[in-house]
């Protein structure tokens, strides 16, 4: 019997190595696997490269992971937002490497990694500082810049519901980066608010098929997210 449901956060985090590239879902707090990030803090892996749209807020979650000195590099589109104090401190002190990626390029680089596409061309960033040093080609009279696939060793994703085969369904705008991160990673770990029986999630309503998911853990996010 296939059973991807794990019972403890220690089991969920087992085997995450120092130096890993960790894809972290969410757009701000929505769709962010908050409890998996806490578990990663607990687990202890360091020298991480984190790929996440935002660079954390306050001193919890991703910001805490960074503050503890466990993140070597962050790849994101929008690090600077209200309350991103830890990022700004570390970046200014030269203690954190930053790779800024346009948001659509970031999503597509992960989708490409998941689909076995090593690189692709896009018009985004042509003629800007973010295209510096990248190969460019003309197609049909327009310039495009080459971007490489972005693969994770680990993805931490958040879904509304999941089953023991790893099928996931998200809730409203909580979907965001989670599906592409799930497909772009060697080890995808999902926190879900509800564990369903096989078949209980309508096959037509599965957003991420279980082939992309390796571990599922149920979490209680409290009444605010019910």
Interface residues with other proteins (CB under 8 A) are 27-30, 77-81, 84, 87-88, 91-92, 98, 100-105, 107-108, 110-111, 122-130, 170-180, 207, 224-225
How many degrees, rounded to 5, is the angle at CA 5 between CA 4 and CA 9?
115
Give whichever of 16 and 168 is closer to other proteins, judged by the CB atom: 168
Dist CA 81 CA 69 (whole Å): 20
Give whichever of 5 and 90 is closer to other proteins, judged by the CB atom: 90
Per-residue CA distances from 167 to 29, 89, 115, 177, 188 (Å): 22, 39, 18, 16, 12
H/E segment holding residue 38: helix 34-43
Give the shortest CB-14-to-other proteins separation in angstroms.
27
Contact (Cβ atoms closer than 8 angstroms) between residue 21 and residue 152: yes
Per-residue CA distances from 16 to 69, 102, 136, 186, 214 (Å): 17, 28, 36, 11, 13
Give the shortest CB-102-to-other proteins separation in angstroms.
4
Give the shortest CB-11-to-other proteins separation in angstroms.
27
Give whichever of 21 and 84 is closer to other proteins, judged by the CB atom: 84
**Residue 155: other Cβ atoms inside 10 A:** 32
Closest CA to 162 of 191, 203, 186: 191
Give the shortest CB-15-to-other proteins separation in angstroms.
27
Give the shortest CB-207-to-other proteins separation in angstroms.
7
Please give the DSSP secondary-structure letter assigned to residue 130.
G
Give the shortest CB-124-to-other proteins separation in angstroms.
5
Q: Integer distance in angstroms from the first to the last C-alpha of the chain?
A: 31
Give whichever of 27 and 165 is closer to other proteins, judged by the CB atom: 27
**Residue 137: other Cβ atoms inside 10 A:** 10
Dist CA 132 CA 68 (whole Å): 32
Give whichever of 16 and 162 is closer to other proteins, judged by the CB atom: 162
Give whichever of 1 and 93 is closer to other proteins, judged by the CB atom: 93
């Amino acid at each position: 019997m296939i059973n991807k449901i794990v019972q403890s956060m220690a089991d969920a985090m087992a085997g995450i190595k120092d130096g890993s590239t960790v894809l972290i879902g969410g757009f701000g707090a929505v769709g962010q696997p908050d409890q998996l990030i806490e578990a990663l803090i607990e687990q202890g892996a360091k020298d991480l490269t984190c790929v996440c749209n935002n660079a954390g807020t306050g001193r919890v979650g991703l910001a805490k992971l960074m503050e503890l000195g466990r993140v070597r590099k962050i790849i994101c589109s929008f690090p600077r937002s209200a309350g991103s104090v830890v990022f700004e401190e570390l970046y200014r002190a030269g203690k954190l490497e930053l790779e800024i990626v346009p948001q659509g390029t970031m999503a597509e680089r992960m989708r490409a990694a998941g689909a076995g596409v090593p690189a692709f061309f896009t018009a985004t960033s042509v003629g800007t500082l973010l295209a510096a040093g990248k190969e460019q080609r003309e197609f049909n009279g327009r310039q495009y810049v080459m971007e490489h696939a972005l693969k994770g060793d680990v993805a931490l994703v958040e879904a509304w519901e999941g089953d023991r085969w790893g099928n996931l369904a998200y809730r409203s705008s909580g979907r965001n980066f989670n599906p592409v991160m799930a497909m772009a990673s060697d080890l995808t770990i999902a926190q879900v608010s509800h564990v369903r029986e096989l078949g209980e999630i309508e096959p037509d309503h599965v957003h991420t098929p279980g082939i992309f998911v390796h571990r599922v853990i149920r979490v209680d996010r409290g009444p605010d997210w019910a």
